[in-house]
Amino acid sequence: MGSQPYRAMRFLHPDFDESGLSAGLQIAGTGGIDMVSGHAAVRQSVLMLLTTPPGERVMRPDYGCDLQQLVFSPNDATTHGLAIHYVKRALTRWEPRVEILFLDAAASAEDPGRMDIHLTYRLRRTGHREQLVIPVFMAEEA
């Protein structure tokens, strides 16, 4: 396994969640496939899991998180509770490498049409802690 316990092909730009960049296989400067390892590989897996709707992966139709079902819901406490439930269920089922330390959802202070999911987790193997804010853009009410 080497010095890095986790290693994967890079599918997300390193600034994916902050920049709004799209996902896709990343090519290294050498022309080969860019790799990601360690806690960054798990971070990428968590982000991919939470942004993949169930049914999108043909060979694993149950893989993903139901967050996209909430985009036409009101940005209120009920929707926030559902988001927390969906994220917890997805991580518990599909990402055994992480332990959830904190999980909350709330309307964004900057954009009332956005729900922010705040997640802090710890890697079970190394103890590394990671914090993520996953934005969910809600459809505006007519």
- Output the pLDDT for position 30: 65
Interhelix angle 39-50/77-94, nearest 10 degrees: 130
Paired with 98 in beta bridges are 123
Average pLDDT over every residue of 105-121: 95
The Cα 121–Cα 127 span in angstroms is 9
- In tens, the pLDDT along 52-76 reads 999 998 999 999 999 999 999 999 9
Confidence of residue 45 (pLDDT cuts 50, 70, 90): confident
- In tens, the pLDDT along 73-92 reads 999 999 999 999 999 999 99
What is the residue extent of each domain of the chain? 38-137
The Cα 98–Cα 92 span in angstroms is 8
Does domain 38-137 fall under CATH 3.10.450.40? My reply is: yes
Q: Is the pTM value of this prediction over 0.85?
A: no
- Output the pLDDT for position 52: 92
- Percentage of the chain exceeding pLDDT 90: 62
Q: Which of 123, 85, 131, 88 is nearest to 4 (CA)?
A: 123
